[in-house]
């Protein structure tokens, strides 16, 4: 009888925990502490039961305490499931039953498929608005209590061209979602959810990516493009995994622009250990993107994602070395703009966490995205050599070594890059946003306040209502056949508005420079046994940024007309 009473009390406690605590406000940041508290409470419960049993039957004590814990957990999750399925504010939106109840459904799907494909399949089945869930509510901590509403699985994935401007446009009142708190207490312009701090930081970054800065970076871009060209010249006729080599190029360049020194992967042909450390964390990050609270628990456990944590330590050390190194006072890399701005404001020490976070963000966002675009562009060029001929016909009209400004004027080159970005956006699931407290109307559909909004550009870029023959690679749609683009607003590989990619122009400069350098000098084809290179697209992953599969190409010295 006493045991039944305890179980009933535990069950009531589970329901009250949901109704009074977990149904309100954010808890993902405190998830590690809550997890440890739950484990500690379970231990104390066992000790208490052991004392009641006078330490004579530890097995019975363990059984009783386990039943009490299970009773609490069962009632807590039953209460959550019932509320989310039948009483939640998003209950009228279509979506899988499992996603309505728990984000674990979504995580389970990601065990076998990348997130952008999971979302695309959901949209094909349920339409343009799909409820995909969110275990903890995204109401901002600084909001007044009137906005701290009863929430739950709180995410809507939207496939509507008008949503891009309404969610990410200059006048949007949407903010970043809890996902961006994953790296706290580390912060950066990419992860901060505070609009004021973001805008202040963005003004500094804008100087680092303005026309003057890009002119200063161009020689370094050309230098690393030349290193890549030289590496290929040493491997002519042999299969090359260009997915890896494009990563070597982009990471080496971003190392130079972040820390003032290269990773030297183009020279050695070997992956730098720091990249493996980063991949360790991105794998976990990609899997648990739907559950930021679970990712934070994972990151807090010793031994889990140890490489990721080591990468932070290494990155911080590189930034410390970069700050301490004397230079000529010129802003010749991205971090110099950030460091000098802090020095001018006498806030170098106070800004250390920002500088560390921003440098780490440059490495990830500035390298993965460029490498992915290059891999997918050369995949399409190898599939259709006619595209190479058209680009070469433009290049032949330029100087032997065209500069960045000249490459900007080539319609087919830039059309091919745009088509690559359309079919294979480097951030395919896009960043998660949060609707304003009073809600937002998108495509005549009202979305309640404090709802997490997902806008998967992979799906949006392939809408037939926005792009004629959406699955085909047609560079001409961007210059000579504009009728093939029905809605230009749907094209947003770099996002839009205040949260748009600040490094967009640098990334495009890199892609143009590498493409021109390689096509001017080499012919290329798929390596024997690679078929048509299907693996690069088939094995594409989604770790916030896209991670293409292996693409092996064989390069040979270009045979020009009239040459033997």
Known binding residue 501? Answer is yes
In the three-class reduction of DSSP (H, G, I as helix; E, B as strand; rest coil), residue 554 is classed as strand
174: helix, coil or strand?
coil
CB 366 within 8 A of CB 197: no
Q: By three-state DSSP, how is residue 453 classified?
A: strand
Burial of residue 300 (number of CB atoms within 10 Å: 0-12, 13-18, 19+) = middle
Question: Is the Cβ–Cβ distance between 285 and 402 less than 8 Å?
Answer: no
Sheet order of strands, 155-158 included: 129-131, 155-158, 452-454, 433-434, 175-176
Which contacts (CB < 8 Å, 24+ apart) does range 39-45 have? 42/69, 45/69
Q: Give dist(CA 279, CA 313) in Å, integer.
A: 15
Between CA 111 and CA 547 the distance in angstroms is 15
Dihedral Cα 442, 192, 278, 228, nearest 10 deg: 80
547 to 245, 371, 540: CA distances (angstroms): 13, 9, 5
- What does the DSSP assignment read for 408-420? TT-HHHHHHHHHH
Annotated binding site for heme: 501
Annotated binding site: 501
């Amino acid at each position: 009888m006493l045991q039944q009473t305890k179980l009933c009390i535990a069950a009531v406690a589970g329901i009250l925990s949901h109704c009074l605590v977990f149904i309100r406000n954010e808890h993902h940041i405190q998830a590690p502490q809550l997890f440890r508290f739950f484990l500690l409470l379970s231990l104390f419960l066992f000790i208490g039961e052991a004392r009641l049993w006078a330490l004579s039957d530890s097995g019975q004590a363990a059984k009783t305490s386990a039943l009490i814990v299970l009773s609490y957990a069962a009632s807590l999750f039953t209460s959550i499931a019932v509320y989310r399925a039948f009483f939640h504010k998003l209950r009228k939106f279509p979506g899988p039953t499992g996603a309505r109840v728990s984000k674990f459904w979504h995580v389970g799907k990601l065990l076998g498929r990348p997130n952008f494909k999971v979302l695309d399949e959901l949209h094909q089945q349920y339409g343009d608005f799909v409820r995909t869930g969110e275990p903890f509510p995204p109401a901002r901590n600084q909001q007044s209590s009137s906005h701290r509403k009863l929430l739950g699985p709180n995410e809507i994935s939207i496939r509507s061209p008008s949503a891009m401007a309404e969610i990410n446009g200059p006048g949007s009142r949407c903010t970043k979602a809890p996902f961006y708190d994953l790296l706290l207490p580390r912060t950066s312009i990419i992860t901060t959810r505070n609009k004021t701090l973001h805008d202040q930081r963005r003004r500094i970054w804008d100087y680092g990516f303005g026309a003057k800065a890009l002119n200063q970076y161009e020689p370094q871009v050309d230098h690393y493009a030349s290193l890549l060209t030289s590496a290929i010249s040493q491997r002519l006729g042999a299969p090359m995994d260009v997915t890896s080599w494009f990563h070597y190029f982009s990471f080496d360049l971003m190392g130079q622009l972040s820390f003032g020194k290269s990773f030297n992967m183009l020279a050695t042909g070997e992956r730098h250990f720091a990249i493996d450390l980063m991949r360790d964390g991105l794998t976990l990050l990609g899997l648990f993107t739907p559950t930021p609270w679970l990712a934070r628990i994972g990151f807090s456990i010793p031994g889990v994602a140890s490489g990721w944590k080591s990468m932070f330590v290494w990155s911080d050390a590189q930034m410390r070395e970069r700050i301490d190194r004397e230079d000529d006072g010129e802003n010749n890399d991205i971090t110099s703009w950030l460091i000098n701005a802090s020095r001018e404001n006498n806030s170098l020490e106070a800004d250390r966490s920002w500088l560390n976070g921003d440098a780490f963000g440059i490495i990830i966002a500035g390298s993965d995205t460029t490498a992915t675009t290059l891999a997918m562009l050369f995949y399409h060029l190898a599939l259709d050599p006619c595209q190479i001929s058209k680009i070469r016909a433009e290049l032949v009209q330029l100087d032997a070594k065209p500069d960045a400004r000249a490459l900007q004027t080539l319609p087919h080159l830039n059309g091919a890059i745009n088509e690559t970005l359309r079919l294979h956006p480097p951030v395919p699931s896009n960043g998660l946003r949060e609707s304003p407290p009073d809600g937002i109307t998108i495509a005549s559909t009202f979305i309640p306040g404090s709802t997490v909004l997902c806008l998967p550009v992979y799906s949006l870029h392939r809408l037939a209502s926005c792009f004629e023959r959406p699955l085909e690679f047609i560079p001409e749609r961007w210059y000579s056949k504009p009728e093939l683009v029905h809605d230009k607003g749907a094209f947003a590989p770099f996002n839009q508005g205040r949260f748009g990619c600040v490094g967009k122009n640098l990334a495009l400069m890199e892609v143009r420079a590498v493409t021109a350098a390689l096509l001017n000098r080499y012919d290329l084809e798929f390596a024997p046994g690679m078929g048509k290179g299907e693996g690069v697209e088939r094995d594409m992953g989604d770790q916030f940024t896209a991670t293409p599969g292996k693409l092996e190409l064989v390069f040979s010295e270009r045979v020009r007309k009239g040459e033997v």
